Amino acid sequence: MYQKLILSIAILAFSGSSLAEVQAPLILSGQIKASDNQTFYSPKTDSWNVQVQWLLPEGEIAKKGDLVVVFDSGSIQSQIEQEKVSLIAANEELFRLTSSAKQSLLEATYGQKRTALLLDKARIDAGIAVVHLSEYDYQKNQLGLEKAVVANAKALENLKQVKVANKVAVTKQKITIVKHQDKLQYNEYKLKQMSVYAERSGPVLYGIHPWNGEKVFVGMTAQPSWEIAKIPSVNGLYIEAWVHEVDYKNMRVDSVVDFKLDAFPQYNLVATLTEISSQPEERKEWGNDVYYRAVFSFSLDEALTLLPGMSAQLEFTGVSPSE
């Protein structure tokens, strides 16, 4: 009886040590990604943030040329209307300045021609010899010539200044018009960025909020360059997973792993770890820890219809999660 008890204890001790050696495999959650996507990003605006005004329903098949995302463009449209009004006013001012310039040039030219004729007359009068005139009239003609020379010089200078002033005023106004045209063109370009169209056919997938991990939704306020939606390609599919920093040392490129898709749990599939980042990244929605991006390639089973966004569970047999 005593020997049986000792044997039982020995068996239990051996079994316990064997169970301790058996460790659970490392399991990662991943997602099907496509290497070739048309991605829709939130544009940069003067107000920094921009509101998502409309989205094509997620999962709906967009055809090439279909409208996919519309951002709030109320302020841009107001700027466009304002620039159009300013452009009309600037063109009207250019017309007024041009007409005024023609009038002032005409007057200055007439004034200079008049002083030139008076100068010619004064030269003739001053050329009469003193023997034919009284001393008073002779000196009067000489003084008249001097005055005519000065008056003609002033008229020539005035004509020159009028030409320069007219040219400067018209040129400045043309520059103002070009500025308004550039602003209008820029705002119209920004307005086009507020409505984004599909360049290929495919299902529409919404992006993820970079701070809280929520799906993008209509009415959400986004910052520039946030991923709002994408139309993936079914070519070049791969699995993306994020490895915790404590498990990173167990990762080896070219490791073969088993995985299952949530959409097709009855299929046992195989993938290969082809890439793992060397620099960790914070995933704010998961806490303060850091993670490494891992990429897994796999052969597509013809019996399965896979789409980017599907979830996958990867199991590393023989690799245990670190304590």
Indicate whether 39 pLDDT > 60. yes
- Identify whether 323 is part of a domain: no
Q: How confident is the model over 208-221, as a mean pLDDT?
A: 88
The domain of 102 spans 76-192
Q: What pLDDT score was predicted for residue 37?
A: 80
Position with higher pLDDT, 103 vs 303: 103
Query: Do residue 82 and residue 68 come from a single domain?
Result: no
User: What does the radius of gyration of the chain's CA atoms come to, in whole angstroms?
Assistant: 43
Q: What pLDDT score was predicted for residue 166?
A: 94
CB 191 within 8 A of CB 80: yes
Q: What pLDDT score was predicted for residue 234?
A: 67
Query: Do residue 211 and residue 137 come from a single domain?
Result: no
Q: How far apart are CA 97 and CA 104, in angstroms?
A: 10
Taking each helix axis as running N to C, give the angle between helix 74-126 and helix 135-193, from 0 to 180 degrees, rounded to the nearest 10.
170
For the record, the structure tokens of 165 come out as 């002033």
Query: Do residue 203 and residue 67 come from a single domain?
Result: yes
The rounded percent of the chain whose pLDDT value lies above 70 is 89
Last residue of a domain, one of 168, 192, 216: 192
Q: What pLDDT score was predicted for residue 153?
A: 94
Q: How far apart are CA 168 and CA 147, in angstroms?
A: 31
Q: How far apart are CA 223 and CA 237, in angstroms?
A: 28
Position with higher pLDDT, 172 vs 250: 172
Q: What pLDDT score was predicted for residue 7?
A: 37
- Identify whether 18 is part of a domain: no
Q: What pLDDT score was predicted for residue 321?
A: 53
Indicate whether 320 pLDDT > 70. no
Q: What pLDDT score was predicted for residue 26?
A: 82
- Identify whether 15 is part of a domain: no
- Identify whether 165 is part of a domain: yes
CB 170 within 8 A of CB 101: yes
Query: Do residue 290 and residue 219 come from a single domain?
Result: yes
- Identify whether 63 is part of a domain: yes
Number of residues that make up the chain:
323
What own/partner pairs with CB < 8 Å and gap ≥ 24 does 150-159 have? Answer: 151/115, 151/118, 151/119, 152/112, 152/115, 152/116, 152/118, 152/119, 154/115, 155/108, 155/111, 155/112, 155/114, 155/115, 155/116, 156/112, 158/108, 158/111, 158/112, 159/105, 159/108, 159/109, 159/111, 159/112
- Identify whether 269 is part of a domain: yes
Last residue of a domain, one of 139, 161, 192: 192
Q: How confident is the model over 190-198, as a mean pLDDT?
A: 90
- Identify whether 5 is part of a domain: no
Last residue of a domain, one of 167, 192, 217: 192
Query: Do residue 49 and residue 119 come from a single domain?
Result: no
Query: Do residue 81 and residue 156 come from a single domain?
Result: yes
Q: How confident is the model over 193-212, as a mean pLDDT?
A: 88
Q: How confident is the model over 264-292, as a mean pLDDT?
A: 85
Lowest-confidence pick of 78-87, 119-128, 153-162, 278-287:
278-287
Q: What pLDDT score was predicted for residue 71?
A: 93
- Identify whether 276 is part of a domain: yes
- Of 244, 252, 61, 90, residue with least CA distance to 172: 90
Lowest-confidence pick of 71-80, 156-165, 189-198, 284-293:
284-293
Indicate whether 323 pLDDT > 60. no
The CATH number of residue 108's host domain is 1.10.287.620
Q: How confident is the model over 171-191, as a mean pLDDT?
A: 94
- What's this model's pTM, rounded to 2 decimal places? 0.56
Q: What confidence tier does 46 reach under pLDDT thresholds 50, 70, 90?
A: confident
- Kindly provide the b/e burial profile for residues 208-235, where b requires at least 16 CB atoms within 10 angstroms of the residue's own CB: ebeeeeeebeeebebeeebbbbbbbeee
Which residues neighbour 243 within 8 Å (Cβ) at sequence distance 6 or greater? 28, 251, 276, 291, 292, 293, 294
Indicate whether 12 pLDDT > 80. no
Tally of domains within the chain? 2
Q: What pLDDT score was predicted for residue 102?
A: 93
Q: What confidence tier does 9 reach under pLDDT thresholds 50, 70, 90?
A: very low
Q: What confidence tier does 229 reach under pLDDT thresholds 50, 70, 90?
A: very high
